[in-house]
Structures are given as C-alpha cells and as structure tokens.
Amino acid sequence: MTPQTALPNIDAGDPYNVQSRPLLVVVSGPSGVGKDTLLQRLKDVGCEFWFVVTMTSRAQRPGEVDGKDYFFVTREEFDALIEADELLEHSLVYGEYKGIPKAQVREALATGKNVVMRIDVQGAQKIKRIVPDAVTIFLMPESEEELIRRLTERKTETPEGLRRRIETARDEMRRIPEFDYVVVNRAYQMNDAADDIEGIMRAERCRVGRQPIRL
C-alpha cells in the first residue's frame, strides 16, 4: 500500500494551487495609447480584476471622476504620504506627482482577484524592482504617426505640452525591452488588444513556480 504523501506548502511553490494566487499586473505605455479605454473594455467583456487607482497631485480635468480616474490630492497631502512611506511607488511626471497607495494594493490582493495598475513607464519599472513577480505589459500604438494623431485629437495640451508628450513617448518606446510583454493597441481593433492582455493574465496565473505577492 502506497503511503499518503502530504501536499507541498502553498508558500513554497505548491504546483496544485498556482491558479489561486492573484497577479499584480502593471499596464503601461505612452500617453494617448488608450490604456484607460482598454481596461474598461476588459471589464465590459467580463474579465474580472481589481483596478488600483493612481493618486496624483495634478488638478482634476473636466469629466474626470475622483476615485475612478485618479485620487486627486494636494501637493501637501502627497508629500505627507511620501514622508510616511505609504506609497508603493511615486514619481514626478510633467511637474506633478503620481503614485500608488500601499494600503489600496494590499486590500486589492486580499480579494483574490488579479490586481491591475495603470501607471507611467518609469513607475512600472519601480514596481518591477520592488515586486519582481509583477507582470509588466507595455501598450503601444501601431505607429508613431497614429500616437501623434491620438494625442492631437485629445486637445488637452498646449502646443508646448503636446511637443513634450511626443518626445516623452519616443523615450518611453525605447524602454520596451524592459517589460515582460508588449501589446499593440491598433485603431479600431481594441478587442484584439483586450484578448492579448486577458491571455497573458490567464497564462501567468498558470505559471509553475509563481509565488504569492508580498508587499
């Protein structure tokens, strides 16, 4: 009679429980590439995940909703969170702070759902250094011309601001090799990009050796 063998401990890399561990997914890419719209499309097609809302010190734009698009705080409030070490990462982008509150990420992971962040490229690399098991995805347009068209049609920038965003986007595109995955968000083909991201999350959740995310 074969003796019963105990299952390996989940924290030691239990192969029987790989899919029980939520992912920490970072979606990044240049301004205007469609990160927010794509994440909304994923929700619309039934992909379940907890979206972590970025905190920012910049002014709220018309149509933006506090707590949905961003958590809007004053520069003084943001400085206080930095001092208290209550941000997972933060950076200065276009003269304003952006960052991820630690408490929100811990709460999200505790639900057991995959946790998705939408942050800028430099923030994505900071998260990867802090949490090596985070899955980083770079979202890009099909061409630079298409990205410039999208940025121009938003009409949210001055000519100088638009020029800065285009130059920043070019610098960010050079950092694609630092990411785990790249997904092309082609104009009028967003469902394809959504399918790609959902497939990445499905495969990563099944990856052997995946460890629980700890912050």
- For CA atoms 126, 128, 131, 134, the dihedral sign is positive
Which residues form the catalytic set? 61, 154, 165
Q: Are strands 55-56 and 96-101 parallel, antiparallel or unpaired?
A: antiparallel
Give me the phi and psi of 51, to 5 degrees please.
-95, 125
Report whether 24 contacts 104 (CB < 8 A): no
C-alpha span between 123 and 99 (Å, rounded): 8
Nearest to 133 by CA among 212, 19, 16: 212
Strand 115-118 versus strand 24-28 pairing type: parallel
Buried b (16+ CB within 10 A) or exposed e, 155-194: eebeeeebeebbebbeebbeeeeebebebebeeeebeebb
Please give the Cα distance from 22 to 106 (Å, whole number).
Answer: 11
